[in-house]
Chain A
Amino acid sequence: MAASKPILYSAWISSCSFRVRIALNLKGVDYGYRAVTRTDLDYEKINPIKYVPALVDGDFVVSDSLAIILYLEDKYPQHPLLPQDLKKKAINLQIANIVCSSIQPLQCYAVIGLVDGKLGSDESLQIVRNYTDKGFKAIEKLLEGCDSKYATGDEVQLADVFLAPQIHAGVTRFQIDMSNYPLLERFYKAYMEIPAFQVAAPEKQPDAPASPY
């Protein structure tokens, strides 16, 4: 009798969910997809802060993309996302945190502000671009001189899992000029050739609308 597969609570457009979808795919973990919208009142029982994604593994529930991915890293050691080398591991975590603490939360604030009518569309876009540009510029600087296939080597690692969705959102939704970020632009092209990333893309999810953008 096969063990029940993990369930991912996700929203198609959520870059945080996109990260976890990539990680699951890279590790070859089959999972069930549960689409969540802002109006799902029951979801609070799964995740008190009401954000996606959340992973339900048997009777265990974990939320927040970094926590989920580090859990997957331990439970499914295939295709490791963190190198053994402490310095390289640290740069992966630093880049992941620039994305998940310094870019995405401000993007989320700007998008929700627009949806809720608290911010005008120009203002919302300006906020997203401001924080995206700041983060991307810093990451570009941190990786200056990088000649490997991906951000920290020739294998996809944690930094890449966090960068891909952020760049994807920037390019598809917020008109970020990636020519300012040659390294990130090069990585992004490489990411989008990998099936694990392609299958995880927002437009490919069961809850994506017919005309996504």
Chain B
Amino acid sequence: MAEAEAEAEATAGRLRLYSYWRSTCSHRARIALSLKGVDYEYKAVNLLKGEQSDPEFVKLNPMKFVPALVDGDSVIGDSYAIALYLEDKYPEPPLLPHDLQKKALNHQIASIVASGIQPLHNLTVLRFIDQRVGAGESVLWTQQQIEKGFTAIENLIQLKGCAGKYATGDEVQLADVFLAPQIYAAIERTKIDMSNYPTLARLHSEYMAHPAFVAALPGRQPDAPSSS
């Protein structure tokens, strides 16, 4: 099995990311890797074709979610855990400030996205809504979840007066890693009216001008359809 050995040698020491081009959770991991300048191998998992249920993938992540990061014998199947793993392993540039309060604010914003918005409009939940309420209802549902979450984040950022060039200051931090994919998807796919969220709209333009964020965009990934 000379080919397999050669392949194993070539990828030895290289991180591998299981990702779907359109998955906002995968998008978060891609941004973190890109910001840290970490080279990785991209393994596409086509969610629409059900590849997350392939036995090999389920072994890696029994939740059948992307992203999953493989680093030697470490397998991490959650975007938050991946982001904090990368933060520890590749300290530059740091995504979390030393100041405890600013750090906590970053975690709070990341958590609103990761626990308060995205889980309520991921693929499995949308299929349930369409089945139960009616075909196409998931679109309205998604809009409602995003608007609720964006209102909270916009209010929180304004309440804290924390925004600079980015969400919590003039440096890219963890909050931005989580916000960018959610805002991008909201604009591109759900067609959310961002006029109610002036800070988030501005942050979106900053992210779209930042090379590390641009490299992580869905349309730039190997599994993105060429016509998108």
Contact = CB atoms under 8 A, between A and B. Distances in A.
Interface of A: 48-51, 60, 62-64, 66-68, 70-71, 74-75, 86-87, 89-91, 93-94, 97-98, 100-102, 104-106, 109, 123, 127, 134-135, 137-139, 141-142
A204 B152 CA distance: 31
A63 B108 contact: yes
Interface of B: 61-63, 65, 73-74, 76-78, 80-82, 84-85, 88-89, 100-101, 103-105, 107-108, 110-112, 114-116, 118-120, 125, 128, 132, 148-149, 151-153, 155-156, 159
A49 B116 contact: yes
Contacts of B128: 127
Contact of B74 (A49, A75, A90, A106): A90
A89 B84 contact: yes
Given A62-B101, A101-B115, A139-B62, 11 more contacts: A62-B105, A71-B100, A86-B85, A91-B76, A91-B81, A97-B81, A104-B115, A106-B119, A135-B63, A138-B62, A142-B62
Task: Determine the main DSSP class of B at the interface with A.
Answer: helix
A110 B120 CA distance: 11
Contacts of A106: 119-120, 125
B63 A49 contact: no
A123 B133 CA distance: 12
A109 B120 contact: yes
B106 to A, nearest CB: 8
A119 B180 CA distance: 33
Contacts of A86: 74, 85, 88-89
Given A66-B111, A86-B89, A138 B63 contact: yes
A212 B69 CA distance: 42
Closest CB pairs A-B (n = 4): A67-B107, A49-B152, A93-B81, A138-B62
Given A98-B63, A98-B78, A105 B116 contact: yes
B63 A62 contact: no
A90 B76 contact: yes
A98 B79 CA distance: 11
A75 B80 CA distance: 21
Contacts of B85: 86, 89-90, 93
A97 B107 CA distance: 13
Given A71-B100, A74-B100, A93 B112 contact: no
Contacts of B74: 86-87, 90
Nearest to B72: A87
17 contacts: A48-B151, A49-B156, A62-B101, A62-B104, A62-B108, A64-B115, A71-B104, A75-B100, A86-B89, A87-B74, A94-B78, A98-B63, A106-B120, A109-B120, A127-B128, A135-B63, A138-B61
Contact of A64 (B112, B118, B149): B112
A37 B108 CA distance: 21
